[in-house]
Structure 1
Amino acid sequence: MYEHLEDRQLVPLARRDHRAYEALMRRHLPRMHAVACGIVGESNAEDVLQEVLWSTYRNLKHFRGDAEFSTWLYRITMNACYQALRKPQAEVTPLEDLDPPSLENVAHRAEQNQMRELIEEGLQSLPAEQREAFSLREFLDMEYQQIAEVLGVQLGTVKSRINRAKQALKTFLLQRGVQP
C-alpha cells in the first residue's frame, strides 16, 4: 500500500498511521540489521533493532527533515549499538536446527561460522570511529559523502577511517591464518 512512496512522502504519514510506519521500517530494516551486526555482532543485533524501532517510533514526531530520513535512522541505529556495547553482555547461545544436518553441511557451516566469528572479532577490535565508518560502507554500501553526513565528519576523515579499518582487519585476519 505504501511501498511505492518515497521516504520523504512516507514519514508524515508514518507519524499518524502505523501501517505507513511499518512500511517505512520494513524498507530500512535489512540495512539497519547489517549495521547492527557489524557493530555489535549478530547475537546482539536483534536487541539493538528492537531499541531502534521503539526509539524511532517515539521520536518520529521530532524528525525535522533537515537530513534524509535514512541518515537520521542510521544515526539512531549506531547510537543504540554503542549503548548496547556499554552494557554488560550475557552469554547467548543460538539454537541450532533440530534436524541433523549432513556432514558436508556441518563442515561448511563450521567454516562459515568460524569466518563470521573472526570477522566479528576483528570488527570489535577496531576503534569505534573506524568500525562505524567501515560498517556503513561495507554493510550498507553507502557513499563516502553520505557516511560523512551520518557521522558528522569531513569526507577525508571518512576515507581515512575506512582505509585504516580495512588495513587493520586485513592484518587481524592474516595474523589468525586467513589467507586472501
Structure 2
Amino acid sequence: METRRYQDVNVQVIDRCKNGDNRAQYELYKLYAKAMFNVSMRITNDYAEAEDVLQEAFISAFKNLHTYKADASFGSWLKKIVVNAAINAIRKKRSELVPMDERLAEDVADEVDEDDNEWKVEQVRYAIQRLPDGYRVVLSLYLLEGFDHAEIGEILGITESTSKSQYSRARKKLVEIMRAPHIVAH
C-alpha cells in the first residue's frame, strides 16, 4: 500500500521554516496561534498556563519541524504537540485523573431533559471549566478536539476503556453542573 502525502496549503511557508527563515516562522505562528491557544485553553483551563503551553509547543514544533512528513495537515501535527504540551503542564501541576469505577461506565445514561436544550453556550463553557481536570481533559480531547478513545488513552497513558469511562463520567458531571440552580455564566 502506498503512503499518501498531504498537500498542505502552507507548504511554502513550512519549507521556508525548515530552512531557518525566522519571518516564515512568524507567519506560521500568526496562522495557527489563535486556534492552538484555544486548544490549550480548553485543556489547561488557565489563561497564563495556556499561553505558556502555546509558546512551548511552537518552540518544540520549530525545533522538530524536520520530523513533519506531511502525511497529515500541519495544523493536525501542531495540534498534537499542543495537546501533549497541555497534558504535560497539567501533570506538572500534579493533577491526576479522577479515579473511575470501571463497572459504572456502562451504567451512565444520557439524561437530558427537554428544558436542557435551552442551555446557552456560555453556560456550557462555564460548566466545562468547573469539571475536575481529568474529566475536562478527556471531554475536551474527545468532543472538542476530535480524538478517539484509543488516541486519548495513548496521549494520557491510560487504557481506552478508562478514557471511555472518564468521558462518560465527565458527561454525567457536566449535566449535573448544568442542572444546578446556581449555574451562571461569567
The 1:65/1:126 distance shift into structure 2, 3 A limit, reads same
Corresponding residue of 1:6: 9
Query: In the alignment, does 2:133 pair up with 1:133?
Result: no
1:38 to 35, 39, 42: 42
Corresponding residue of 1:26: 30
Deviation at residue 173 of structure 1 after TM alignment: 2.8
Equivalences, count: 138
2: CA distance, partners of 1:87 / 1:176: 34
State the one-letter code of the partner of 2:37: H
Mapping 1:45-60, distance limit 5 Å: 45-60=50-65
The 1:18/1:171 distance shift into structure 2, 3 A limit, reads same
Gaps of 5+ in 2: 1-7, 95-122, 154-159
2:133 to 121, 124, 138: 124
1: CA distance, partners of 2:38 / 2:11: 23
Gaps of 5+ in 1: 90-113, 137-143
Corresponding residue of 2:84: 79
TM-score, normalised to structure 1's length? 0.61
Measured against aligned partners, the alpha-carbon deviations of 1:10-29 in whole angstroms (never above 9, x if no partner) come to: 21122121111211121111
For the aligned residue pairs, the C-alpha RMSD in angstroms reads: 3.6
Secondary structure in 2 matching 1:126: helix
Q: Is contact 2:44-2:86 (8 Å) kept?
A: yes
1: CA distance, partners of 2:51 / 2:136: 22
The 1:56/1:23 distance shift into structure 2, 3 A limit, reads same
Q: Is contact 1:33-1:45 (8 Å) kept?
A: yes
Q: Is contact 1:15-1:61 (8 Å) kept?
A: yes
1: CA distance, partners of 2:44 / 2:184: 25
2: CA distance, partners of 1:179 / 1:88: 27
Q: Is contact 1:36-1:45 (8 Å) kept?
A: yes
State the one-letter code of the partner of 1:22: Y
Deviation at residue 175 of structure 1 after TM alignment: 3.0
Q: State, as a whole percentage, how many aligned pairs show the same letter.
A: 25
Measured against aligned partners, the alpha-carbon deviations of 1:78-101 in whole angstroms (never above 9, x if no partner) come to: 000000001137xxxxxxxxxxxx
More helix by share: 1
Deviation at residue 115 of structure 1 after TM alignment: 8.7
Q: Is contact 1:39-1:123 (8 Å) kept?
A: no
Secondary structure in 1 matching 2:131: helix
